[in-house]
Structure 1
């Protein structure tokens, strides 16, 4: 996972928590941060960034999961010392 995808995932988690608070408690954190509410330029910009993060994270659904393989050479293997 690239750094951009990790950043997008973090932004999505923050956006998801905001939607959870909005759904459960009817409290919009983003609109509260900006005094003009959801119509302010800052809130619209933040909502746009969260939307772009969702589009970036969409690509992680279609990438196959790869298990990193560790290659061990026989030359590097040493016997365990007995105590």
Structure 2
């Protein structure tokens, strides 16, 4: 399970950085690497979206355990 969490977190970071580049410079790095409109670009975008959905699970788990509340009290 830890491997999946790390892998999905990497995809979420890649997606976030890509959106930052799109917002700041109108530059889509994923499309530039794999070719705009290619099947690989769609696969990467799908993996980023699925990874973001997967990262909701650890978020709610940490909220349920009180881990986030403990972090706020420091």
Which blocks of at least 5 consecutive residues in structure 2 are unaligned?
A: none
Question: Under a length normalisation based on structure 2, what TM-score does the superposition of the two structures give?
Answer: 0.77
Which residue number in structure 2 is paired with residue 73 of structure 1?
none
1:27: how far off? 0.3
Greater relative contact order, per chain length (Cα 8 Å cut-off, separation 6+): 2
Which residue number in structure 2 is paired with residue 62 of structure 1?
60
Structure 1 residue runs of 4 or more that deviate by more than 3 Å after TM superposition: none
SS of residue matched to 1:62: helix
Aligned residues: 65
Aligned equivalents of 1:53, 1:61: Cα separation in 2: 13
When you count helix as a share of all residues, which structure comes out higher? 2
1:34: how far off? 2.1
Q: What is the aligned-residue RMSD (CA, Å)?
A: 2.0
Aligned equivalents of 1:7, 1:42: Cα separation in 2: 18
1:24: how far off? 0.4
Is 2:20 the counterpart of 1:46? no
Which residue number in structure 1 is paired with residue 13 of structure 2?
13
